[in-house]
Amino acid sequence: MAVTSTSLASQLSGRLRRSCSKLDHFNSHSFFDSIHSNLRLSVAGKPCRGVVAMAGSGKFFVGGNWKCNGTKESISKLISDLNAAKLEPDVDVVVAPPFLYIDQVKNSITDRIEVSAQNSWVGKGGAFTGEISVEQLKDTGCKWVILGHSERRHIIGENDEFIGKKAAYALSQGVGVIACIGELLQEREAGKTFDVCFQQLKAYADAVPSWDNIVIAYEPVWAIGTGKVATPEQAQEVHVAVRDWLKKNVSAEVASKTRIIYGGSVNGSNCAELAKKEDIDGFLVGGASLKGPEFAVIVNSVTSKKVAA
């Protein structure tokens, strides 16, 4: 079930018409017209390529966020399923188990799949009860960490500035960051989706030393674990806007190479249609990542992007 878009195309048109203005509401043109005419050179007339059709230059990326789920037994079964799965080669695949099981996963999962943590502390370890330092994550073999997830923002109470500092520290220690952004339902209904996402992006941009090892995960909060999912068009328009923000506020190079993935009730049934969108560079998957065969289907949805030679 998809939540109806509240004039995001109108917001985008407003930003494109006025380079330094606040979002206003316009009568909506079609999403595709506004994108192709105002934001990106049309792909019409370009030759088809025998490659993955992505706006960015990065490799398709699929992460599985296991959240606070699993036991040693269930995770052993999940790892077995993942190890047996046939995964498309042109995809970066990452799983994020609970902290307690990182070592178990790292020691038994195929080298084809990298391991991420779900959170990390803002600085070097020490007298911080209950926290996990980036140095400890590196010691267990973690290559990535998920930061800024909505459950950390809205349940734990982490703010934009704190999340930005955490991202900067993880990157400084050589750990890649899956940097989450996304709006609440009331923010979308109020026409504030871009404002919220851009504010969250700015907090990362103000803090991080480089974008070389960052993947942006757009996860509308209203779609996380609810069974509701943004339509491919809704997701695409936000991804386009995020890439444009990076181009204007960071650099064209960063906009091109930074992968922008979608999260929010992604499953084996809807991933192919979402993956077809040019600016959707992969997925951050919740519940469906706990099912090995279904997670493999999502990873292999990269084939939906491939165009005829």
pLDDT tens digit string along 181-196? 999 999 999 999 999 9
Dihedral of CA 226/227/233/236: which sign? Answer: positive
Average confidence (pLDDT) over 254-260 = 97
Tell me which of 16 and 238 has the higher pLDDT.
238
pLDDT value at residue 141: 96
Catalytic residue, from 149, 151, 183, 187: name it. Answer: 149
pLDDT value at residue 53: 58
For residue 234, the one-letter residue type is Q
pLDDT tens for each residue of 32-54:
344 333 333 333 333 333 345 57
Catalytic residue, from 151, 183, 219, 237: name it. Answer: 219
Of the ranges 18-27, 192-201, 237-246, which one carries the lowest mean pLDDT score?
18-27
pLDDT value at residue 188: 94
Please check whether the domain covering 60-308 is classified as CATH 3.20.20.70. yes
pLDDT confidence bin for 236, thresholds 50/70/90: very high
Rounded CA separation 7/11 (Å) = 6
Mean pLDDT in the chain? 86
Tell me which of 97 and 33 has the higher pLDDT.
97
pLDDT value at residue 22: 38
Average confidence (pLDDT) over 11-25 = 42
pLDDT value at residue 228: 83
pLDDT-above-70 percentage for the chain: 81
pLDDT tens for each residue of 108-165:
999 999 999 999 999 999 999 999 999 999 999 999 999 999 999 999 999 999 999 9
pLDDT confidence bin for 104, thresholds 50/70/90: very high
- CA angle at 273 for the pair 268 and 279, rounded to the nearest 5°: 115
pLDDT value at residue 56: 66
237-264: burial string, b at 16+ Cβ within 10 Å, e else: bbbbbbbbbbbeebeeebbeebbbbbbb
pLDDT confidence bin for 307, thresholds 50/70/90: low
pLDDT value at residue 27: 40
What are the domain boundaries of the chain? Answer: 60-308
Clarify whether 239 is annotated catalytic: no
Clarify whether 219 is annotated catalytic: yes
Residue 14 has pLDDT above 50, yes or no: no
How many CB atoms lie under 10 A from the CB of residue 35?
24
Rounded CA separation 62/92 (Å) = 6
